[in-house]
Amino acid sequence: MTTTLVRRPARIAPPAVPADRVQIAEPPHLQAQPPASMSASMVVMPVISGCGSLLVAVTNPDKPLFAVAPACCCWSAR
């Protein structure tokens, strides 16, 4: 095993700090609240899909996996 000597150039000095004051832009303004119909759909869509999976579980009594699947989904959502 050998050792190789590597020569690196000297570090470059960082740029000078400006003496004048730095102007910072003001933060963006808050946007208006979304309409209530959009927030209602965010609640209604998961309820509809949950009811659909429950309907599949109830209408297929001979397949036990369908009966257990909604319980697994509810447990994992916690």
**For 12-61, what is each residue's pLDDT tens digit?**
888 888 888 888 899 988 888 777 777 777 888 888 888 887 787 777 76
Record the tokens describing residue 34, joined without a space: 């979304």
Query: Looking at the whole model, is its pTM more than 0.75?
Result: no
Record the tokens describing residue 43, joined without a space: 């609640």
CB 67 within 8 A of CB 61: yes
The angle formed by the CA atoms of residues 25, 14 and 12, to the nearest 5 degrees, is 150
